[in-house]
Structure 1
Amino acid sequence: MSDTGFDKAPSEAITDLSGTYAVDASHTRLGFQARHAMVTNVRGSFGEFEGTVVIDAAEPTNSKVDLTIQVASVSTGSADRDGHLRSGDFFDVENYPTWTFTSTSVEDVDQAAGTFVLVGDLTIRTITKPVRIDVTFDGSAKDPFGNLRAGFEGKAVVNRKDWDLTWNAALETGGVLVSEKIKLDFDVSLVKS
């Protein structure tokens, strides 16, 4: 059993994966986590997005990712909180309905371990900032319909103030309602085009 608690099925070698892939939104999670009231974590995700990934297994540093997120699809399990996130206090989805991520490089590739760092530009509202994402290759397989699938996990930490997402409220006991540091986590399923 792997450290995630799930067995990983045998998969093809990563060198077999060169090509262009579509992000399978129905089997992908684009998630985030923030501290709330200094005492707990609130998790959320985006349900609508599309993306293309080009994998160059012979020269992994030439690989590329382009992703567009429909920001109104945010979900944290609370309709009130989701509405606040969609408002001008945070995401302002009426004026900025999409976020984009475009990779700029792939670094620190360890093909034997299936790990690398994906670097790219994340645009939220009108602000574009670089983000470094630690990525792990989870495996690949042919699905029952003959499609080649590849799975990846990613993690990053960003400061929301870098994108001018500054709304907050002070707590009587000290501290703030929403942390500046946001953890991003991704489980991505790709289908070869």
Structure 2
Amino acid sequence: MQRRTKVLTGAGVAVGVLAGVGAVVGPRIYESTVVAEAAPTLDAAAADGGLPDPATLDGTWTVGDGSFAGYRLEEVLGGEDVTVTGRTEQVTGGVTVDGGALTEATVEVDLASIATDQQRRDDYFRGTAIDVATYPTATFVLTEPAELTAGATDARLVGDLTVRDVTRPVTVDAQIASAGDTVQVVGSVPVTFEDFGITPPDLGFVKVEDTGTVEFDLALAPAAG
């Protein structure tokens, strides 16, 4: 009994949502530190001066290399606040700009490839939390046109986020800028785990907040053809 008590006392749990979105919980998955990635921001070259005349961006754009999406969550572990991030570069999709407005957008994230700094956490995320064998992707689909403004970077993207076959309306606070032939879109949206059928654990030694954040950084290139 004494040995079992020591094992249980040494267990750790984490939970996450993605893309963006995920939840992670598992025994004995923590090392002495947790490494969290910085929140995505516009590149200095892209942010300088904001967007050009939005009409010059009319056309179809494809999510390209350098894009990523993932989740960010807060938890209390052993009495200390901990930030956990999970990310993947397996992001696909495209957007359409028409008349200087973002009129269509679909982004799909491969949930099985989302990774943190802990393999055991990732294994639990892909299995118990999300069940990527059944629900391999998360998607965002724009449902309202988003007006773009020359010289500005802020944009409000209204759409549907689908995770584990659950679709919820969301509003994304985004920033959009261009550098050369590439358009960069970064943003985040708060999510509540239970809205997507994910219950964050509270096991005493670790407590995960009820909400997290889906975040992304998209590098858009003109569609071929």
The DSSP-based 3-state class of the residue aligned with 1:82 is helix
* Stretches of structure 2 lacking an aligned partner (at least 5 in a row): 1-40
TM-score (norm 1): 0.81
Matched, 1:156 2:189: yes
| SS at 2:144 equivalent | strand
Instruction: Give the greater-gyration-radius structure (CA).
Output: 2
Secondary structure in 1 matching 2:187: strand
SS state at 2:217 partner: strand
Amino acid paired to 2:168? K
Q: Which of 43, 52, 67 pairs up with 2:85?
A: 43
Q: Secondary structure at the match of 2:131?
A: coil
Question: Alignment partner of 1:52: what SS?
Answer: strand
The letter of the residue matching 2:189 is A
TM-score by length of 2: 0.71
Question: Aligned ranges for residues 1-150 of structure 1 at < 5 Å?
Answer: 7-8=44-45, 13=52, 14-24=54-64, 26-37=65-76, 39-56=81-98, 58-60=99-101, 63-88=103-128, 90-107=129-146, 110-141=149-180, 148-150=181-183
Structure 1 residue 112, shift from structure 2 partner: 3.8
Q: Which has the higher strand share?
A: 1
Contact preservation (8 Å) 1:28, 1:187 = yes
Q: Which runs of 5+ in 1 are unaligned?
A: 142-147
Q: Secondary structure at the match of 1:130?
A: strand
Between the aligned partners of 1:77 and 1:140, the Cα distance in structure 2 is 31
In 1, Cα distance between equivalents of 2:160 and 2:193: 14
Percent of matched pairs sharing the same residue: 27
Check conservation: 1:123, 1:129, Cα contact below 8 A: yes
CA RMSD of aligned residues (A): 2.3
Q: Which of 199, 215, 218 does residue 185 from structure 1 map onto? A: 215
Q: Secondary structure at the match of 1:165?
A: coil
Structure 1 contact 118–135 (Cα < 8 Å) conserved:
yes
Deviations 1:5-36 (A, max 9, x none): 96326677133111101101x31121321012
Q: Give the match for residue 33 of structure 2.
A: none
